[in-house]
Amino acid sequence: MAVNIDESLEARHVCIAADTGGGKTAAVKLVNGLDDLANSFIGDHVAIFDIYGNYRFDGRKAKNNKFNGLGGRKVFTYNDRASFAKALLSAWRSGKCFVVAYTPVPKSKRPLSQDQMAEFRRKELEWFGQLMWDAADGKRELYVVIEELAKLVKSVGKDNSIIGELATGGRAYGVILVTVFQRSQEVPKSIWNMSKRKIIGALDTMPDIEAMSKSTGAPVDCLVQVSKLNAKYTKRYLHYVIRKPGFGNLSAKRVSLKPPFKVDNWTLDELLAAE
């Protein structure tokens, strides 16, 4: 059970939305300086629900490779509940910095159907979320990253699951929820609305862009520009529109995909002027 409630803590949940190849996971790994409260986007204590193993760390890769692990940080990945829970508990008690990821693998020797795999992952996410809630401590920040959330939920209405509880009640216990998905229309409204900070990457269709504009206040032409620039500068740069708390509090970022992985902070006018 979460302990040490602190109602003075600010809600700092983040939603990251982009189509396939639009920079979702890259945003988690590379974007920093999201707001004025921290120098980095992801803090010292991180747990990731990573269904595709996007955060696996390879010690043979260059140390300055920001795509390795979590922005170059070592990630310890586990495939079953017992080993992940043990690792999280040990790391949390140590007080040291850590990144642990849970990539659940079915024990069944027979291949699961698409529906069976989806149900398996939903159950594992529920377990993962409960573990996060039990670990939460208002005296310390715990970043909880959930990849591909839209594939793990059944409803886009109010989320009454433990993930919804992390979104609505986790703030007071030091939880910073980071959810990653393709379209805002496909995730629970409670998750979207409780995440005042949003990172928006490339979107493939005008209906998606218009829906995102309506839900964030980001101008359509800026979202179109992000998609155009990302297509033009494939493997060189990623561009994002950033929404922070407060009406009309919008900006942009350009992230280099090669060392030193520089992040440029832009106004929306600078984004629109980019060629």
In SS3 terms, 43-54 reads as CCEEEEECCCCC
Task: Tell me the pLDDT tens digit for each residue of 92-134.
Answer: 999 999 999 999 999 888 889 999 999 999 999 999 999 999 9
Checking phi first, is residue 138 left (phi over 0); if not, alpha (psi -120 to 50) or beta? alpha
> How wide is the angle at C-alpha 202 spanned by C-alphas 223 and 115, nearest 5°?
125
Dist CA 53 CA 166 (whole Å): 23
* Whether the Cβ atoms of residue 108 and residue 140 lie closer than 8 Å to each other: no
Average pLDDT (60-70) is 85
Residue ranges per structural domain of the chain: 14-273
Average pLDDT (72-94) is 97
Task: Tell me the pLDDT tens digit for each residue of 204-250.
Answer: 999 999 999 999 999 999 999 999 999 999 999 999 999 998 888 99
* pLDDT-wise least confident of 40-44, 51-55, 107-111, 262-266: 40-44
Question: Is the confidence at residue 156, as pLDDT, over 80?
Answer: no
Residue 106: exposure state from Cβ atoms within 10 A (0-12, 13-18, ≥19): middle
Task: Look at residue 38 in the predicted model and tell me its pLDDT.
Answer: 42
Question: Is the confidence at residue 159, as pLDDT, over 80?
Answer: no
Which residue's entry shows tokens 């209405």?
A: 157
Task: Look at residue 83 in the predicted model and tell me its pLDDT.
Answer: 98
Q: What fold characterizes domain 14-273?
A: Rossmann fold (3.40.50)
Over the Cα atoms of the chain, what is R_g? 18
Task: Look at residue 11 in the predicted model and tell me its pLDDT.
Answer: 86
For β-strands 142-146 and 175-181, DSSP reports them as parallel
Dist CA 109 CA 113 (whole Å): 12
Task: Look at residue 33 in the predicted model and tell me its pLDDT.
Answer: 67
- Of residues 62 and 264, the one with the higher pLDDT is 264
Task: Look at residue 39 in the predicted model and tell me its pLDDT.
Answer: 45
Helix axes 162-169 and 114-135, enclosed angle (nearest 10): 40
